[in-house]
Structure 1
Amino acid sequence: MAQALEFHFDGDADAAVRGLWRRLADNGVPDAVPSPATAPHVTFAAAGTIPAATRAALREDLRLLSIPSLWLSFLTAADDELALTAVVDTELLAVHSAVHDVLAKRVKQPVARYLPGSWMPHCVLARDLDPARMTAAFAALHPTGSIKARITEIVVVDTHTGETDVLRDLEDRS
């Protein structure tokens, strides 16, 4: 994956997720948590390339959408990844579908796990966990409780360089 469409969280949700990352680091999996430079987020789409013209179209559509808050409520383990999964409702699926309507046939190498019908909205807490470390990480965080995450920024992130392109700043009141 080279470019991802990420929805970033408000300050309280950001701090709550970073608190979970610290708990994991304090409980034996410091190398598995995202770097401090990584913003807690939910990825809505990913592809090898999201071209500039597609970003412009997406920027325009996102301006017209009402972006719902997320309830990150379920601690989940899949493959080698530990995540906090969001409650899925019709509003969230509508935004996801609208994003993919714009991206359809306009991106190179779309990542299948983010396509409609396959996508499970989640915030990654740790990666590259073998079974023993997954068990320890799950135990360190269970139970997590729910985190209400208001979306404050939507960006395309280059996953290799870390460069970001802000498509919508929901905090900008101008």
Structure 2
Amino acid sequence: MSQGFAIELYFDPALENQVLKAWNVLARRQISTQLIEIESRPHITLFSTPFLEPTKVESIVKNFASKQEPLALSLSSIGSLPSDNNILFLGPAPSISLLQFQSQLCEAMRKEGIEIGEEYRLGSWIPHCAVAQEVPKARMAEAFCVLRDLKLPVSGYAIDIGLVEFSPVRELFSFVLGNTVEA
């Protein structure tokens, strides 16, 4: 049974591989394998909700993606979200272009009657790329140390956007930015 839906921003292969390295190091150390187990893909979540009509969202996302260009990203910080899931992430360097991208997507969805939750509204959204979930509290410091050994920043581009259902993660569709053809 679906736990929800998310619109995710995906990276070029080189940046994706840098994030996968972090996932694999944490898995080898037996700190966290959750993202690998749910078959996720490195991404930044732009929007998430428990209920959604995928066919309604598909045209919104396709139209939105066709008007966007690949987005330069630099994952330059390590952080943790204040939640029960003990999530560790790589944070993108703040940029007006990333904030505008997410804000414009949410505005396009709002115009179509899709409610935007508080955590994805302008001023509340925290862009991040999860590298570990459900990290045992006793191993958080170790996980931070492992991530600090990564050579940050890692830079690249966000090149496509997709809708997934979770968990496990199942991609329903994706579109290349600046292109009207499906990825």
Q: Distance in 1 between matches of 2:139 and 2:117?
A: 27
Whichever residue aligns with residue 4 of structure 2, its letter is A
Q: Distance in 1 between matches of 2:145 and 2:168?
A: 33
Whichever residue aligns with residue 108 of structure 2, its letter is V
- Tell me, yes or no, if structure 1 residue 166 matches structure 2 residue 169: no
Unpaired segments ≥5 residues, structure 1: none
**Conservation of the 8 A alpha-carbon contact between 1:47 and 1:107:** no
Corresponding residue for residue 11 of structure 2: 9
**Conservation of the 8 A alpha-carbon contact between 1:73 and 1:87:** yes
Secondary structure at the residue paired with 2:159? Answer: strand
- Tell me, yes or no, if structure 1 residue 85 matches structure 2 residue 91: yes
Deviation track 1:97-144 (CA, whole Å, cap 9, x = no partner) reads 110101226336x44322221111111011112332111111112143
- Tell me, yes or no, if structure 1 residue 121 matches structure 2 residue 127: yes
Corresponding residue for residue 66 of structure 1: 69
Deviation track 1:62-98 (CA, whole Å, cap 9, x = no partner) reads 2112341211110112231110011121111111111
CA RMSD in angstroms comes to 2.4
Deviation track 1:26-55 (CA, whole Å, cap 9, x = no partner) reads 223143443383210000011123322233
Corresponding residue for residue 55 of structure 1: 58
Comparing 34-43 and 66-75, the one that deviates more: 34-43
Whichever residue aligns with residue 138 of structure 2, its letter is A
Deviation track 1:9-42 (CA, whole Å, cap 9, x = no partner) reads 1111111111111111222314344338321000
| Seq. identity, % | 21
Corresponding residue for residue 154 of structure 1: 161
**Conservation of the 8 A alpha-carbon contact between 2:65 and 2:179:** no
Secondary structure at the residue paired with 1:69? Answer: strand
**Conservation of the 8 A alpha-carbon contact between 2:89 and 2:129:** yes
Unpaired segments ≥5 residues, structure 2: none
Q: TM-score by structure 2 length?
A: 0.82
Q: How many residues align?
A: 173
Q: Residue 102 of structure 2 is aligned with which of 96, 112, 126? A: 96
Indicate how the Cα distance of structure 1 residues 76 and 59 shifts in structure 2: closer, same or farther if over 3 A, else same: same
**Conservation of the 8 A alpha-carbon contact between 2:65 and 2:178:** no
Q: Distance in 1 between matches of 2:146 and 2:171?
A: 32
Secondary structure at the residue paired with 2:71? Answer: coil
Q: TM-score by structure 1 length?
A: 0.86
